[in-house]
């Protein structure tokens, strides 16, 4: 089962909440957190073998995938330290 994560920047107040992470009943595809340097955003997107992984906002095909347990991330908009909060009690499948 997957969980949800929130990203919050301490600098510019940019935030993305309720980002799905992990996988559902099947092991694939998986939702992974990404940072997109093309549209300067943080989000989550489906990753599947044989499929191109795309930014869920601008569909750019080279988002930077993040570790599932990432907790610190430079804000893609202002480069200030941002925090990723994982809400393990909020699950989806």
For binding to Zn ion (CB under 5 A), which residues are involved?
A: 9, 11-12, 14, 36, 38-39, 55, 57-58, 60, 75, 77-78, 80
Q: Which is nearer to Zn ion, 4 or 34 (CB)?
A: 34
Which string of DSSP letters, residue by residue, matches 24-36? Answer: -SSS-SEEEEEEE
Q: How far is the CB of 88 from Zn ion (least distance, A)?
A: 25
Closer CB to Zn ion, residue 39 or residue 70? 39
Alpha helices in 1-93 (DSSP H): none
The residue (of 17 and 80) whose beta carbon lies closer to Zn ion is: 80
Q: How far is the CA of 10 from the CAs of 5, 15, 46, 49, 89, in angstroms?
A: 16, 9, 27, 35, 24
């Amino acid at each position: 089962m997957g969980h949800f994560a929130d990203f919050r920047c301490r600098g510019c107040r940019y935030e993305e909440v309720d980002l799905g992470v992990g996988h559902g009943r099947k092991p694939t595809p998986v939702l992974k957190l990404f940072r997109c340097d093309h549209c300067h955003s943080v989000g989550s997107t489906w990753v599947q073998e044989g499929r191109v992984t795309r930014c869920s906002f601008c569909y750019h095909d080279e988002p930077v995938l993040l570790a599932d347990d990432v907790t610190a991330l430079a804000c893609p908009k202002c480069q200030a330290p941002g925090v990723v909060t994982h809400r393990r009690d909020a699950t989806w499948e």
